[in-house]
């Protein structure tokens, strides 16, 4: 069986059929990763877009700088961040428009409304398991790097070194991000009356 890096060499030569094999190897992990970052129930379009970008950027892949796994998760993270920013911009614009139409609401703050809307959506989700509680706690982590680090560590089973490369940070900084996020999730779960993940 060919390695990911060997498949990428073939892709660079124009053999696009190899993308099917890479998709089989990575689509489920990327699906879970994108789902947890964006909170989109079915991020299939995002995952497909990641593989389109893999094809488009194949020439820039360098196995000496990073493994294929690290490289594709970096692409996925960037795509998810772009998606979130685009969605927030649309929400912000629509909320600002509403603020202009609603007379007498001088204290209206669009940013607060966006945050409240997120919380309302999360509260509507029926929490049937500890996994849902953990997911909610992770979603409340405000530091983007910490949130992505803990998702990469637990959902995508990445090492601190790989997480560092994906986030563009040192291994020790990646470890710090994961540990900090773990503490925040732990405190959040304790507030929910959940003492452990057992």
pLDDT one digit per residue (tens) for the chain, 198 residues: 899 999 999 999 999 899 999 999 999 999 999 988 888 888 999 999 999 999 999 999 999 999 999 999 999 999 998 888 877 655 544 444 544 554 444 444 444 444 444 444 334 333 345 667 788 888 899 999 999 999 998 888 899 999 999 999 999 999 999 999 999 999 988 887 876 544
Please tell us whether the domain made up of 127-191 is placed in CATH 3.40.190.290.
no
Task: Quote the CA–CA distance of 18 and 99 in Å, as a whole number.
Answer: 51
Tokens 């925040």 identify what position?
A: 184
Are 147 and 141 within 8 A, CB to CB?
Answer: yes
Predicted pLDDT at 141: 92
DSSP per position, 26-48: HHHHHHHHHHHHH--S-THHHHH
Predicted pLDDT at 91: 53
Predicted pLDDT at 174: 95
Task: Quote the CA–CA distance of 24 and 163 in Å, as a whole number.
Answer: 22
Tell me how long the chain is: 198
Two structure tokens written together for 147: 């949130």
Predicted pLDDT at 134: 82
Predicted pLDDT at 106: 44
Crossing angle of the two packed helices 171-191 and 130-139, in degrees rounded to 10: 120
Predicted pLDDT at 75: 95
Task: Quote the CA–CA distance of 66 and 161 in Å, as a whole number.
Answer: 10
Helix (H, G, I), strand (E, B) or coil at 102: coil
Predicted pLDDT at 19: 94
Tokens 């849902």 identify what position?
A: 132
Instruction: Record the pTM.
Output: 0.64
Two structure tokens written together for 163: 């997480």
């Amino acid at each position: 069986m060919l390695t990911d890096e060997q498949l990428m060499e073939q892709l660079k030569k124009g053999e696009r059929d190899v993308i099917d094999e890479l998709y089989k190897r990575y689509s489920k992990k990327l699906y879970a990763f994108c789902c947890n970052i964006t909170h989109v129930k079915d991020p299939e379009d995002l995952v497909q877009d990641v593989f389109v970008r893999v094809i488009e950027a194949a020439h820039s892949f360098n196995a000496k700088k990073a493994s294929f796994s690290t490289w594709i998760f970096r692409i996925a993270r960037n795509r998810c961040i772009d998606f979130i920013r685009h969605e927030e911009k649309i929400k912000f614009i629509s909320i600002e428009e509403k603020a202009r139409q609603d007379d007498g609401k001088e204290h209206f703050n669009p940013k607060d409304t966006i945050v409240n809307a997120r919380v309302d959506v999360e509260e509507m989700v029926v929490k049937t398991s500890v996994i849902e509680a953990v997911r909610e706690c992770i979603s409340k982590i405000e530091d983007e790097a910490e949130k992505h680090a803990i998702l990469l560590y637990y959902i995508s089973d990445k090492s601190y070194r790989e997480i560092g490369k994906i986030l563009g940070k040192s291994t020790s900084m990646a470890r710090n991000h994961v540990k900090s996020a773990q503490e925040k999730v732990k405190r959040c779960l304790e507030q929910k009356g959940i003492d452990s993940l057992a």
